[in-house]
Amino acid sequence: MDKLKIEGGYPLKGEITISGAKNSALPLMAASLLSSEILNLDNLPDLMDINSLSELLENMGSKITKGQNSISVDNSDISSTLAPYDIVRKMRASVLVLGPLLAKYGSATVSLPGGCAIGTRPVDMHINALEEMGASIEIKEGYIYAKAPKEGLRGAEIVFPQKSVGATENILMAATLANGTTTIANAAKEPEIEDLAKCLIQMGAKIEGIGTDLLTITGVKNLKSTNYSVIADRIETGTYMIAVAMTGGEVIFKNTRLDFLSALLPILKMAGIDIVELKNGDIKVTRNKNKPLNAVDITTKPYPGFPTDLQAQIMAMLTIADGAAVVDETIFENRFMHVPELARMGADITIKGSSALVRGVKELKGAEVMATDLRASVSLILAGLVANGTTIVNRIYHLDRGYEKLEEKLGACGAKLTRIS
């Protein structure tokens, strides 16, 4: 298993080009199953999760052609609607094939998902909503066996009990081919859901309420071929902005946006970081090391709140801030697995239930640590970038699921990272 060795203490200076969003690319690839024609995606990140979903689609009969940061998915010859455990366990997003398969082919057998070990992460909301659309669903031996009525799924008034990104995406996709109109109330409204809806509209879907928590979808008979460019990765952007906040220095971010980081920006500004949008759309992030890094309290919330996917990274920053801050994790019950690892590097963090009290320390010290999930892994790397001495992060396969060319991107800005195979 690969490890990453990091020599801490080098400020970041240079340019980082942000990749397409993993959390948008995966649902878009699943959405290809709604059409028998070709879906071309570009600005696609080159990641393990993308490979896993490609493998899953190919198993079903998709013909996939990969280019550099692009993919063409031809679903004219789907021969199976099975998503087997071996592939689904690697990546939770595989459950997103359930809605499209059921809507287009009338049946689906999908293994219950795996993915990051950050909580129980049930799929009851996906299943209940599909049942409301007429599907009969049985769960046995770790699989979801789903069947649509003979005449196809029907429109329904779905009211989600809480905001779920995955359930909103699954039902949004299923509804595009259902008979009649579906409304999804209390829908999640992450930018990646907006991206999915825009692509579906280009494919011929009828969707209203994009960007709000009430989506209205009128089913159509077929969806057609389109070309679509994946939105920039806001979590990758935020992760590297936090890296600059921690190491000091100045980095220009290319191919990204600020509007979808409205919860992170005020936090970074309060912490003392300068962020400006340049005339050409690039974003300049500066941290003057002579100024203190202020501690700021954080509560994770569904979009537009502070993303749970940036909680571990901001906590890494708070470990070296001036003063104490509280981090409340409201989305997942088990998302503090980075805490004992950060503590090995000298961080002072006390967990009580879903809150963590982080008291800033003068410096972190390099140590050997273990990555436990995707965002936890990257938080340890951020800590390693500022720690005194050498940090070894074990099990970085988690990282390869979600960060394209991390060593190259940070390395080009002066970070000292080496992968050890």
Query: Which strand (E) or helix (H) includes residue 56?
Result: helix 48-60
Q: Which amino acid makes up residue 199?
A: C
18, 96, 116, 187: which is the annotated catalytic residue? 116
CA dist 110 and 113 (Å) reads 8
Contacting ligand UD1 within 117-136 (CB under 6 A): 119, 121-126
- Piece of the chain touching ligand UD1 by CB under 6 A; list 6-14, 82-90, 305-313, 393-401: 305-313
Contact string 62-101 vs ligand UD1 (x = CB under 6 A):
------------------------------x---------
Quick check: 402 binds ligand UD1 (CB under 6 A)?
Answer: no
Residue 391 CB, nearest approach to ligand UD1 (Å): 24
3-class SS of residue 97? helix
Quick check: 309 binds ligand UD1 (CB under 6 A)?
Answer: yes
Residue 116 annotated in active site: yes
Residue 272 CB, nearest approach to ligand UD1 (Å): 27
Cβ distance to ligand UD1 smaller for residue 165 or 382: 165
> Using the rule CB under 6 A, which residue among 174, 331, 342, 381 binds ligand UD1?
331
**Sign of dihedral through CA atoms 144, 399, 259, 229?**
negative
Q: How many residues line the site for ligand UD1 (CB under 6 A)?
A: 23
CA dist 257 and 247 (Å) reads 22
Residue 322 CB, nearest approach to ligand UD1 (Å): 29
Query: Max Cα separation, the chain?
Result: 68
Name, in order, each residue with C-beta under 8 angstroms of 122's C-beta and a sequence gap of 6 or more: none
Query: Which strand (E) or helix (H) includes residue 374?
Result: helix 374-386
Cα 386 to chain centroid distance, Å, stands at 25
Contacting ligand UD1 within 11-30 (CB under 6 A): 23
Quick check: 236 binds ligand UD1 (CB under 6 A)?
Answer: no
> Using the rule CB under 6 A, which residue among 332, 355, 368, 411 binds ligand UD1?
332
CA dist 27 and 276 (Å) reads 31
CA dist 30 and 235 (Å) reads 21
Give the alpha-carbon dihedral of 93, 243, 334, 345, to 10 degrees: 140
Cβ distance to ligand UD1 smaller for residue 167 or 399: 167
- Piece of the chain touching ligand UD1 by CB under 6 A; list 41-49, 148-156, 162-170, 382-390: 162-170
CA angle 55, 60, 66 (to 5 degrees): 40
For ligand UD1, the binding residues (CB under 6 A) are: 23, 92, 119, 121-126, 162-167, 188, 190, 302, 307-309, 331-332
Would you please indicate which residues are annotated as catalytic (active-site) residues? 116
